[in-house]
């Protein structure tokens, strides 16, 4: 959560809250790509989502998802040393992933319509009137 803490300390708490709210969905989406272990999920998210998580953040999320029946996990021996716990979506997890993706796309497209003119500098209404 180092990235989120840095955002909060910079005064952008809204951005930190937005990112925190997306973490569970991001982990589920990452597992849609296939079985993975905690650090592998962290790397995947850092490379593909602009979300920077720490181990202290990802494992509580994975444990909660496991308790909710969204993911299952198995320990796999590693030739490089310590065994790794691999996580995979359950059938319930795949259903949740579809639900999350649809909800996210609807929400994001609606917010895009509102945010695009502002980001492009076309928000002409500076006096509070419509």
What average pLDDT does the structure give for the chain? 87
**In the chain, how many domains are there?**
1
**Is the C-alpha dihedral spanning 113, 116, 121, 122 positive or negative?**
negative
In a domain, 130, yes or no: no
In a domain, 122, yes or no: no
d(CA 117, CA 79): 53
pLDDT in the model for residue 34: 96
Q: What is the pLDDT of residues 104-125, one digit of tens each?
A: 999 999 999 999 999 898 866 6
Domain CATH for 59: 1.10.10.10
| Structural domain boundaries enclosing 71 | 2-116
Long-range contacts of the stretch 102-111 (C-beta < 8 A, 24+):
104/25
In a domain, 121, yes or no: no
- Whole-structure pTM value: 0.80
Q: What is the pLDDT of residues 70-91, one digit of tens each?
A: 999 999 988 878 899 999 999 9
């Amino acid at each position: 959560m180092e990235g989120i803490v840095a955002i909060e300390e910079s005064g952008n708490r809204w951005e930190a809250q937005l990112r925190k709210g997306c973490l569970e969905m991001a982990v589920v989406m990452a597992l849609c790509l296939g079985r993975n272990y905690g650090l592998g999920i962290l790397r995947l998210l850092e490379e593909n989502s602009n979300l920077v998580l720490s181990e202290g953040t990802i494992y509580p999320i994975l444990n909660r998802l496991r308790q909710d029946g969204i993911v299952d996990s198995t320990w796999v021996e590693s030739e490089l040393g310590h065994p790794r716990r691999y996580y995979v979506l359950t059938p319930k997890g795949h259903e949740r992933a579809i639900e999350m993706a649809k909800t996210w796309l609807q929400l994001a497209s609606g917010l895009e319509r509102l945010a695009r003119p502002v980001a492009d500098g076309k928000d002409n209404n500076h006096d509070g009137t419509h």
